[in-house]
Amino acid sequence: MPDSDRDRSPWHIVWTYVRAYWHWPVLLVMGIYVYQQYMPSIELAAEGRPAPTVAAETLEGDRFRLEDHRGEVVVVNVWATWCPPCRVEMPGFVDLQREFEDAGVQFVGIAVDRGGAEAVRPFVEEKGVNFPQIVDPGLAARHFPGEAVPRTYLIDRQGRIRYEHSGVILKWALDDALERLVREGQ
């Protein structure tokens, strides 16, 4: 077989890419490992400040009122479909909603996409998001202001914001904090 034909074989092309880009998956795994090792555990505020009064229509057309969830632990996540860290943390939130549903924990998302429901609905359906989503950048700006997304807020059973975080939050760290808040209210 002439050299020119061998150079175009599928295996040669694959091997060329593997040799050229092998370091990217290794660096990704190393980065995740380091992040998990050094991300501090969530420190809950002793008292916290009162959560805002929030009432809005969800993506499904239902009415969501934060005060209706007094007596539950509420996780508010301000996010966007165009935000890579938001997309990374969403599957963990879906898992945690399922795991803590019977313990009195309610997640709610506030999407800040300017494209509205048309931009958010396909993502929510594709990822199987199992908690209410509010699509309202103005609501997020008024009640949960901040410069960055994602932003996550933990609200205790008495309606006090006990923790807020800008940036991606990993499932294991949030799991631990939710367990502590659930035990607190028992």
What confidence tier does 44 reach under pLDDT thresholds 50, 70, 90? confident
8 Å CB contact between 112 and 78: yes
pLDDT tens-digit readout, 95-108: 999 999 999 999 99
* Same-domain pairing of 93 and 146: yes
169 and 84, same domain (yes or no): yes
Same-domain status, 176 and 103: yes
pTM of the predicted structure, to 2 decimals = 0.78
In a domain, 43, yes or no: no
Domain count, the chain: 2
Would 44 be classed as within a structural domain?
no
The verdict on 17 and 61 lying in the same domain is no
10 and 83, same structural domain?
A: no
Edge-first strand listing for the sheet containing 105-111: 49-50, 160-166, 151-155, 73-79, 105-111, 133-135
At residue 46, φ and ψ (nearest 5 deg) are: -65, -45
- The answer to whether residues 74 and 139 belong to one domain is yes
As a whole number of angstroms, the distance between CA 103 and CA 101 comes to 5
Of 159 and 147, the one with more pLDDT = 159
Give the residue carrying structure tokens 């923790």: 163
Q: Could you tell me the residue range of the domain that residue 19 belongs to?
A: 3-38
- Assess whether 20 and 85 both reside in one domain: no
